[in-house]
Amino acid sequence: MSIDLGTFGIYTFDFEHLPAARMRDAIQELEGLGWGAFWFPELLGREALTHAGFLLASTERMHIVNGIAQIWSREARWTQGAANLLADAYPNRHILGLGFGGKRDSDVKPLAAMSAYLDEMQATQTPNPQAPIRRILAAYGPKMLELARDRTDGAQSYHVNVQHTAQAREILGDAFLAVEHAVLFEPDPSTARAKAREHMHTYLTSPYNIAKFKRLGYTDDEISGASDRLIDDLVFWGTPDTIVDKLQGHIKAGADHVAIQVINKDPMPHWRHLADALL
C-alpha cells in the first residue's frame, strides 16, 4: 500500500506532557495550519495505539503516525487488532510504525525479533472486520531496511544524517522512506550547539545509538566528545531560512517525507512558522 504524507510533518515528544484537552487543542491547531502528518513516540507512559486513537478522533484529515510503537510493549496479536480497528475507523489516516523496544524478554537480536513479530501479526486469526493496515519499521542498518522493504510499506529513520538517507533510498527502492530530523531555532553557534548537545546526550551515551552513529561514519572521539560535525549533522540549527534549506537535503537525498522535531521549548510558535515556510 503506497503512503503519501506530504513532504513535511511534525515529530514531537511534547504531547506526553499535555493533558488530553490541551493535546486536542494543539493537534486541531496544527491540522488547521495545514500540517498533514503528526508523529509521536511511545516512551514516557502513554500507550501507543490508544494515543493514536485519541489523536485520530480529535482530527478530521491528519495522518497520525506511531513513530514508533515498541514491539515488546504488547503482544503482536493485540497490536494487529488495535491497528486493524484504527484502519477501519479512520481509513488511510493511521500509520503503524513498529520498532525494537519495550520490556525485553530474551536476548534475541532486533532483526530476528522484528521478523518474528511480523510473523505473529500476520498469523493472527480474528473474526473482526479487516481493513488495510499501513505499516512501517524503524530501520537503520541494511538488513532491517531490507526487512522493511520486503515485509512492510517502508521505513522510518531517527537522528540520521543526509548521507544515511541516500543509502537507505538505495536499499528501499520504491518503498516509503520517512526521516525524522531535529531542528533548533537559534542563530548563535555556541548557544545552538550547547543546546543541541543537551538534546543529544542520551543518544550519545547509549550503546545502541553509539553503534548507529559509528555506522553513520562518526569516530569514537566525535561521539564521545559530541563534535561540532556530528551535532551540526544531526541537529539543524540557525535561522528559519537556514533550517528550511537544510531540511530539503533529506528530500534531495531520497526521503519521501521529513518529520521535523523542534527541540526549542514551546514548539508551537515554531510549528506555525514552519507551516508558513514549508506547506
| Segments making up each domain of the chain, as ranges | 8-178+258-278
Q: What is the C-alpha to C-alpha distance for residues 28 and 6, in angstroms, rounded to an integer? A: 18
Q: What is the 3-state secondary structure (H, E, C) of 31-61?
A: HHHCCCEEEECCCCCCCHHHHHHHHHHCCCC
Question: SS3 of 158, please?
Answer: coil
What percentage of the chain's residues is helix, strand, coil (to nearest 5)?
A: 50, 20, 30
Please give the pLDDT value at position 102.
72
> Does the domain at residues 8-178+258-278 carry the CATH identifier 3.20.20.30?
yes
Residues of the chain with pLDDT under 70: 1, 104-106
Q: What is the C-alpha to C-alpha distance for residues 207 and 92, in angstroms, rounded to an integer? A: 36
Cα distances (Å, whole numbers) of residue 81 to 77, 169, 220, 251: 6, 31, 43, 34
Please give the pLDDT value at position 106.
67
Q: What is the DSSP letter of 205?
A: T
Q: What is the DSSP letter of 175?
A: S
Please give the pLDDT value at position 56.
98
Type of residue found at 240 = P
